[in-house]
Each structure stands twice: as structure tokens, then as C-alpha cells.
Amino acid sequence: MRNVLVVISGPSGVGKGTIAKILTERNGYALSVSCTTRAPRTGEVDGREYFFISRDEFLRRVKENGFLEYSEHFENFYGTPKDFVEKQLKQKDVILEIDVNGGLNVKKTYPQAILVMIVPPSLEEVRKRLIKRNTETEDKIELRMKRISYELGKQSLYDYSVVNDDLETTVERLTEIINEEKSRKN
């Protein structure tokens, strides 16, 4: 069976980080660690959540073609290290947890990649959760909702959409998808 590169994307707050973590722990996949130029948040560890590198270093790696894809969010760069992914893929399946545009860019350079979008059960639920969290103003919530609609609008470009109604069922469905893809001939 071939090893596969699986991209997991979806709106923030949909639980994709938890899903990716459970999948890698349970099934032994490799989880790619991206590089970023943003500063670490409290509790984040270099090499675990991200490799935190300077802007100069990031741009140097871009020039050297060191990223499978990269993009800018809120004035910081984020990129998927090519050498890590290629090395890991020789031994196991690899999961990338990146945004929708990143996923689509990966597919351009690596058409065999499998793109999976994690979808919230309903947009109203997401809005309620954001309001309940009470960490953002109404305007910011509206902006986030716009971003979420934009990302969900790209679903048709993804290979699979999985509604995250129940965490365990979602993890099982993803495992099934990956196993099916692994046993394909091409």
C-alpha cells in the first residue's frame, strides 16, 4: 500500500487540530510541523506547534524552494517544510493541518495529496460558540463568520468533506478514507 499525504482543513474552531492529533497518535501517521514567522504564544514549544523562524530565514527558505506551499496570514508567513514531508512520506502517511488555500496549493504541486475539509454541523452553532466564548466583539465575530463562509465555499474543490458532529465518528471516517486511498493503485 502506498503512503498518502492528507491535508486536513476547515474553519477555525471546527476541531481540526484535535482530529489531526488523535489520528496521528492512534494510527501512527506523521504530523507535519509548519514554519512560521509569528511569535510563539504562551505554552507553545518550538518544533511542536511550529518551528518559529525569522522573516529573513523564512524568505531564504522560500528562495531555496524549501516549502511545499506557504502563505501569509495577518502579516505572518506560514509554510509546510518540503524536506520533512518528503522524508516522512517514504516511511508513513503524513497529515498536514493547514488552511484551505494552503491545501489547494499543495494539490497543485502534489496532485496525489488527499484534501479533506472538516465542516461544522451548522454555521449557527459556530456563531453561538463564538458569542458564548465572549472573547471577540460583534464586528470581529462577523469577520470570522465571513472567513468561515469563504472557506466552506471551497468545499467542492476538496476531495472529501466530513461533518464534525461527533469527534469519534469523524476520526473513524477519516481513518476509513485514508485506508481506502492507501489501497488505491495509482
Binding site for ligand 5GP (CB under 6 A): 34, 38, 69, 71, 73, 78-80, 98-99, 102
Count CA within 13 A, CB hemisphere, residue 84.
18
The residue among 104 and 182 lying less far from ligand 5GP, judged by its C-beta, is 104
How near is the Cβ of 7 to ligand 5GP at its closest, in Å? 10
Q: Are strands 51-52 and 94-97 parallel, antiparallel or unpaired?
A: unpaired
Element (H, E) at 31: strand 30-31
What are the backbone angles phi and psi of residue 6, rounded to the nearest 5°? -115, 125
64 DSSP 8-state letter: T
How near is the Cβ of 186 to ligand 5GP at its closest, in Å? 26
Nearest to 77 by CA among 52, 110, 44: 52
The residue among 99 and 181 lying less far from ligand 5GP, judged by its C-beta, is 99
Name the residue number minimizing CB distance to ligand 5GP. 102
How near is the Cβ of 180 to ligand 5GP at its closest, in Å? 25
How near is the Cβ of 30 to ligand 5GP at its closest, in Å? 14
